[in-house]
Structure 1
Amino acid sequence: MSSSSSPTAVPEGAAVLRPPRSRGAIALLVLVLGVLTATGPLATDMYLPAFPQITEELGASEAQIGLTLTAIMLGLAVGQLVIGPMSDAWGRRRPLLVGVSLFTVTSVLCVFVPDVTAFIVLRFVQGVAGAAGAVIARAVVRDMFQGDDAVRFFSRLALVMMLAPLLAPLVGAQLLLVGPWQLSFWVLAAMSALSLVLVALWLPESLPVEARRAQGPRVLLATVGSLVRDRRFMGPVLSLGLSFGMLFTYVSAFSFVSQNEFGVSPQTYGWLFAVNALASMLGTQGNGLLVGRVDTRRRLAAGLSVALFSVVTLLVVALAGVAQLWSVSALLALMMFSVGFIMPNATVTALDGQPASVAGTASALMGSLQFALGGSVAALAGLTPSGEASLVSMAVVMASVAVLSLGAFVWGSRVRVV
C-alpha cells in the first residue's frame, strides 16, 4: 500500500480482500469494472443521433423524446442514492448482479416500446439499474485500494469512464448505417449481459461481512448528513460534479456549434470529437505518470487551473468575435486534457478519507451529484433567445462552472491553491 493510504473502518481481525498485484489480475479488474462503468454513459448517449428517427417512428414530439434522456439521467442519480447504501449493507456483488440483470431486461424491452410514455418509464428504470455499475465499481476500488494505489487504478479506469460518453454518439451514428435505432438497445443489452458474466465469474466480493453496515432511513440520513458537512468530502465532490457539467456542456452543445457556426460536416465533427477524446486519454495517462511524484491534491489543483485557463480563454475568443475552428478545437482539447487529471484525483480525494463501511453511500452521493450537476449545467447553454446553444453560451457556462469548481476545491482543502 502507498504511504498515503488512510485507515479504514474494518474491525480488527476481519478478513479483507487483498488487492490484486499482478498485471494480469489488475487488467482483468479494469476490464470488469470498465465495462460496468461504461454501460450507463453508453445508454445515455448512444441513441442521441437517432432522435429524429425515434420521433417519427413513435409519433412523438422532440420535447417528449428529450424526456427519455432526462428520465435516464434522473434514474442514474436516484439509483445511485439507493444502490450505494444497499451495497454497504449487503456487500457489493448481490446489488450489482441484480442491477445488471435488470438493465439487460430493460434494454431489450426498449426495443419493443409501443409509445413514448412507455419509453420514458423504461428509460428511468434503465437508469436506476445502470447506476449499480457506476456506484459499486467506485466502492470496489475504495475497498481494494487507497491513496496513490487508488489513483493509479482510477487513472486506468478513467480511460473507459471518460471515453464511453464521448464516443457513444459516434457509435450510435455508425449503428444507424446498418440498422434501425433499436439496434443501439440490442448492443446495450449485449454489453450488459457480458457485464453479468464478467461479474459472476471474475469479480469477488470486496466488502467482508464484518465491515458491512446496515442502515435504516434514520441512520442513512445521518450518514448523508455527515458526508455533506465534511469539507474534505464535499469539496472534491463539488469540483468533480461541476467539472462533469463543464464536460457535458461540451458534449451536448459542440455538435450544434461546430456544424452550424463553423459549417463543418458531420464527418469533420466526428474527427474533432475523436481528437478531444484522445486528449482526455493523454490527460489520464499523464496523471498516472505523476502518481508518486506529485501529491494528489496538487495534481487536482493543476487540472482545475488548466481547465479554467482553457475555457476562460475560449470565452474571451468567442466574445471578441475572433474564434476560428482551429483555436476553438485546440482550447477544447486542452480542457479535455485537464479533465483527465480532475476526474481520478477528485474521486480519490473524496473517497480516500471515508471508512469502508460508508464507501458505497459516499460513492452514491458523489455519483448522484455528478449526474445532477452535469445534466442541469449543460441545459443552461441552451438558454438563449433562439433556444439553441451557441459558442458564446457554451463558453459562458463552461467558464462559470470552471470558476466554481476551482472555488469548491479551495473551500474543501482550506488551503490556498499553488
Structure 2
Amino acid sequence: MPTRQYWSLILILGTMTALGPFSIDMYLSGYQAIADDLHTTIERIGLSLSSYFIGISAGQLIYGPLLDRFGRKKPLYIGLIVYILASAGCIAARSLDSFVVLRFIQAIGSCAATVASVAMVRDLFPIKDSAKVFALLMLVVGASPMLAPTVGGYITTAWSWQAIFIVLGGMGILLMAACFFFLPESHQPDTSMSLAPRHIINGFWSVMREPQFYTYALTGAFAFSGLFVYVASSPVVFMKILHVSKQHFGWIFAGLSVGFIGSSQLNSLTLRYFRSEQIVRVALVGQAFFGIVFFVGTYLGWFGLASTITLLFLFLSCLGFVNPNASALSIAPFKKNAGTAAALMGALQMGIGGLASAAVSSFESATAVPMTMLMAVTAIIAVTVLFIGAMRITNPVFLHDSSDAVVLH
C-alpha cells in the first residue's frame, strides 16, 4: 500500500473512531450550562452520557450484520445521517427527557462509524499490523480528550451549549463527505447472508463462543469501562468537588489524555520486543494496582487535586497499553464476519462502560470515592477475566503470525 494512501486511511478511520468520543467529551464542560437551561441538576445531566453509552452499545449490534451484508459504506452513510439529524434535535431540546432520548439516537448514528472503522482495519491491513494500526487510530482519537472539553468550554462561554451540537453536526457532514470521496469500499456485499433474527443471533453466537474473542473482548471491555467511569465523573469531581473552573477543567482533561494517548503510541515500540498477550497482562495488572491505590487513598482522604491528577494519569497510561492489544487480539480470529465481531466487541465495551457510567452517576457524593471504587472494581474484574479466559484458549491466533486468520461461520 502506498504511504500516502496508508496515512489517509489512518486519518479517515481514526476520525470515524473518534466521532463517538468527541461527541462525549465536547459537551462535558457545558454540563452546568445545560443543567441550568433544562432546569435540572448537573448529576442528572449525567444520564444523557449514560444514554449515549447505551445507544452506542445497542447500535453496534444493529450495524455489525448490516456491514457484513451490504458492505461497509452504505450502512455507514445511514448512520451518519441519523447522527446529523439527532445533533440538530439536541439543539432544539427543551427538557432533560428529550435531551437524553436525542443523545441516545445520536449515539445510534455515531456507532456506525465506530463499527465500520474497526471492521475496515481487519479488511484493509495485514493481521500482523492490527495492533499497530489500532494504536495509530488511538492517536487520532486522542485529539478528542485533548481538544474537545477545552473547545466545548470556550464555545459554551462564548455562545451557548447548543453551539456545541452545531459543531458536532458539522463534523458529521464533513466526515460523510470524506468517506464518500476518499474511503474505498473494503468489503463486497454478501448476498448469501440472511438478516433474519435467528441467523443474526447465530452469527453473534458463533463469534461469542470463540475463547480468544470472549477473553480479550470482555477483558478490554471491563478495563475500558474505567475510562467511562472517569469521563462520567470528571465534571463533578473536578468542577464541583475540587472547584476547578470550566476552562481549567478542559486543560486538565486534555493533559490526562496524554497518558492514554502516549502509552498507546509507545505500545507500537513495545510490540517490537513483546507480544500483545504479554503487554496486556502486565498493563492490566498495573491498571488494577493503581485503581486500588487510588480508591484506598481517596477513601482515607489522602489525595487532593495534584494526587488525583497523578493517579488518573497512571491509570489511563496502563489502559493505553491494554486497549489496542485487546482489540486486535479480539478480532484476530475473524475475517469474513469481521463486521459482526467488531460490532459485538464494541457492544460489550460500550454496554459495560455504559452500565459503569450509569452506576457512578447514581451517586451523589462530596468525594471522589464512587469514581475510584468503580475504577478499581472494573480493573480487578478485567484481570480476573483475562487469567481465567486465557486458560480456555486452545488455538490462539497470534498477531505476529504470517498466516491470515481463520474464518468462522
TM-score, normalised by the number of residues in structure 2: 0.88
Q: Which residue of the partner structure matches residue 142 of structure 1?
A: 122
Query: How far is the alpha carbon of 1:379 from its aligned partner?
Result: 3.3
Alpha-carbon contact 2:220-2:326 (below 8 Å) kept: yes
Q: CA deviation at 1:48?
A: 3.0
Is the CA contact 1:237–1:350 (under 8 Å) kept in the aligned structure 2?
yes
Percent identity of paired positions between Structure 1 and Structure 2: 31
User: Match for residue 405 of structure 1?
Assistant: 382
Question: In structure 2, do the counterparts of structure 1 residues 266 and 69 end up closer, same or farther at CA, with 3 Å as the change threshold?
Answer: closer
Distance 2:80 2:311 in 1: 38
Counterpart of 1:405, as a letter, is A
* Cross-structure match for 2:57: 77
Decide whether the 8 Å contact of 2:146 with 2:255 is kept in 1.
no
Alignment of 1:77-116 (within 5 A): 77-113=57-93, 115-116=95-96
Q: Does the alignment pair 1:353 with 2:330? A: no
Residues 1:40 and 2:9 aligned together: no
1:388 corresponds in structure 2 to: 365
Aligned to 2:347: 368
* Offset, 1:212: 7.1
Q: Which residue of 1 aligns with 2:398?
A: none
SS at match of 1:404: helix
In 2, the alpha carbon distance for the partners of 1:124 and 1:258 equals: 25
Q: 1:85 to 1:243 in 2, by over 3 A?
A: same
Structure 1 residues 189 and 382: alpha-carbon distance in aligned structure 2, compared to 1, 3 A threshold: closer
Per-residue CA deviations over 1:68-111 (Å, capped at 9, x if unaligned) read 33333222111110011100111101111121122122222332
1:280-321 CA distance string (max 9 Å, x none) = 121011101122321111111122122112112222322443
- 1:392 shift after superposition: 2.5
CA contact (8 A) 2:145 2:254 kept: no
Contact between 1:148 and 1:292, CA under 8 Å: does it hold in 2? Answer: no
1:155-304 equivalences in 2 (<5 Å): 155-165=135-145, 167-209=147-189, 213-304=193-284
CA distance in 2, matches of 1:142, 1:260: 43
Could you tell me which amino acid in structure 1 is paired with residue 233 of structure 2?
A
Output the CA distance in 2 between the equivalents of 1:234 and 1:187.
37
Distance 1:382 1:187, change over 3 A: closer
Query: Could you tell me which amino acid in structure 1 is paired with residue 350 of structure 2?
Result: F
Q: Is 1:53 paired with 2:33? A: yes
Matched AA of 1:223:
G
Would the alpha carbon gap of residues 370 and 348 (structure 1) be closer, same or farther in structure 2, given more than 3 Å must change?
same
**How many aligned positions are there?**
393
Does the 8 A contact of 1:243 with 1:339 survive in 2?
A: yes
Query: What is the DSSP-based 3-state SS (H/G/I as helix, E as strand, rest coil) of the residue aligned with 1:238?
Result: helix
Helix, strand or coil: the match of 1:177? Answer: helix
C-alpha RMSD over aligned residues: 2.5
| Structure 2 CA distance for aligned equivalents of residues 272 and 66 of structure 1 | 19
Question: Are 2:34 and 2:45, in contact at CA under 8 Å, matched by a contact in 1?
Answer: yes
| TM-score, length basis structure 1 | 0.86
1:329 paired residue number: 309
Structure 1 unaligned spans of 5+: 1-20
Conservation of the 8 A alpha-carbon contact between 1:96 and 1:132: yes
Q: Does the aligned pair in 1 maintain the 2:47–2:361 contact within 8 Å?
A: no
5+ residue gaps, structure 2, are 394-409
CA deviations over 1:203-223 (Å, ceiling 9, x no partner): 111113469744421111112
